[in-house]
Homo-oligomer: A and B are copies of this chain.
Amino acid sequence: MPRKPSYDRDELIERARDLFWQRGWAGTSLKDLEAVLQMKPGSFYAAFGSKEALFALAMERYAADGRERLKALVQAHGPIRALQRFPKMVVENDAAPAKACMLSKTLLELHAHRHPLAQVANQHLLSMEAQFAELFQQAQSSGSIGGAHDPQALARRYQSDLLGLRVSAEREGVDAAAIADEIAGGLSAL
């Protein structure tokens, strides 16, 4: 009996993610979303419930995409080469709505207000860190890097470097590709 929605929900989430990623939480108004999603307020709230709920979906999608891109890199080049290529790939992706990490942007914007979305962002960052640690672990097992290092510590430092890189990449007048090369180079010394 019912009527199907006229939209592709996944594609809407994707478009919302790009908008949120670029403009942030407070910087994205419902009017902006209505324009990009081609939805009136009623449809919007019927579909997603609230701006906050959609933002959470957008972050989930963002994190999932990141995991997949890294996984693909691992499939093609192995763990350590993947970790070396990842920074440059992120920085050189001109199709992305922003260079900076959506999760860190969200965290920085909302942490002081103890906004739930800040914690969600941190959770996703933790899961990314775990993925990095797993790759360092694999690289160690296969002998690609020395066994003296703690994979957790390597992951922690790698993620911090990546976050710094992506803040730098958002700036103008900074050669982010050079920083990405140095991060990759640092992994060769392990």
Main secondary structure of the interface of A (DSSP, over half): helix
- Among A134-186, those with CB < 8 Å from B are 153, 156-157, 159-165, 167-168, 170-175, 178-179, 182
Q: Return the CB mask of A93-117 against B: 1 if under 8 Å, else 0.
A: 0000010100011011111110000
CA distance A159 to B175 in the complex (A): 12
Identical chains in the assembly: 2
Asked if A24 is an interface residue, CB under 8 A from chain B, the answer is: yes
CB distance from A148 to the nearest CB of B (A): 14
Assess the A167–B163 pair: CB atoms within 8 A.
yes
Cβ contacts under 8 Å, A171 to chain B: 107, 122, 125
CA distance A153 to B153 in the complex (A): 25
Asked if A23 is an interface residue, CB under 8 A from chain B, the answer is: yes
